[in-house]
Amino acid sequence: MNIAHTIFGVFGNATALFLFLAPSITFKRIIKNKSTEQFSGIPYPMTLLNCLLSAWYGLPFVSKDNTLVSTINGTGAVIETIYVLIFLFYAPKKEKAKIFGIFTAVLAVFATVALVSLFALHGNARKLFCGIAATVFSIIMYASPLSIMRLVIKTKSVEYMPFFLSLFVFLCGTSWFVYGLIGRDPFVAIPNGFGCALGTLQLILYFIYCGNKGEKSAVAEKIEKSVEMKDEEKKQNVVNGKQDQQV
């Protein structure tokens, strides 16, 4: 059981790392276009909070035999912080204010949980408090892409729901769910079971709509065609005018 526990923990670390790095494709596009377009910034501070709380929960003085939980979530916290800062730099003013407010709240919540658990609680009470906090915000993190899923259904396009992000939500949720079951740790199993289910739904949506261009893309194509037709008409009028002058 200990070997299986470690194996799924290592696999969970690997899939979680890919999950944290998956948005780099999105951020490469954001940096290139110097715009956040319609990408949602909410998942990144929420994932940051999940990483901070999960890393804290995995520390030896909070819960035993969860070092692998701390290592990957500590790494994830650094990566997510970078994402949030990039998003804030390129986001429109209104979106920037919203994400900055969430980011500030995330830091405040983590500081509160850490200080209360460190100075006011001990033993099982500390583990229970930190475990509940990590579980609640892990579920919120996994639920944060629901707005993007709604956009996918509305536009019938997966343009703003990257495939690899959905794939690694599923793989990460599944591996940590099994890790939690083997270790009999409900604070790891419950939120990641939710993540596994949500990742499955995202993949189903992706395969349903991946062949569609979506409403926005169709409108954009119509506009482009209209512009091209007008350009052709102008060119034709110029040619006809020259011909008339020659005659």
Number of structural domains in the chain? 2
DSSP, collapsed to helix, strand or coil, labels residue 185 as coil
Domain containing residue 229: 217-246
Q: Which strand (E) or helix (H) includes residue 186? A: helix 186-209
pLDDT of res. 161: 78
The verdict on 155 and 42 lying in the same domain is yes
Per-residue confidence band for 143, with pLDDT thresholds at 50, 70 and 90? confident
The verdict on 229 and 157 lying in the same domain is no
The verdict on 49 and 159 lying in the same domain is yes
The verdict on 72 and 109 lying in the same domain is yes
The verdict on 228 and 107 lying in the same domain is no
What are the tens digits of pLDDT across the range 171-213?
888 999 999 999 889 999 999 998 899 889 889 988 888 877 5
* 131/123 Cα distance (integer angstroms): 12
Question: Quick check: pTM over 0.85?
Answer: no
As separate numbers, helices (DSSP H) first and strands (DSSP E) second, the chain gives: 10, 0
pLDDT of res. 217: 47
* 74/120 Cα distance (integer angstroms): 24
The verdict on 241 and 169 lying in the same domain is no
pLDDT of res. 25: 86
pLDDT at 86 over 80: yes
Contact 69, 57 (CB under 8 A): yes
The verdict on 54 and 106 lying in the same domain is yes
Long-range contacts of 99-107 (CB under 8 A, 24+ apart): 99/41, 99/42, 99/44, 99/45, 102/42, 102/45, 102/46, 103/45, 103/48, 106/45, 106/46, 106/48, 106/49, 106/52
Rg (C-alpha) for the chain, rounded Å, is 24
The verdict on 199 and 171 lying in the same domain is yes
The verdict on 205 and 225 lying in the same domain is no
The verdict on 110 and 193 lying in the same domain is yes
pLDDT of res. 237: 55
The verdict on 124 and 221 lying in the same domain is no
The verdict on 176 and 130 lying in the same domain is yes
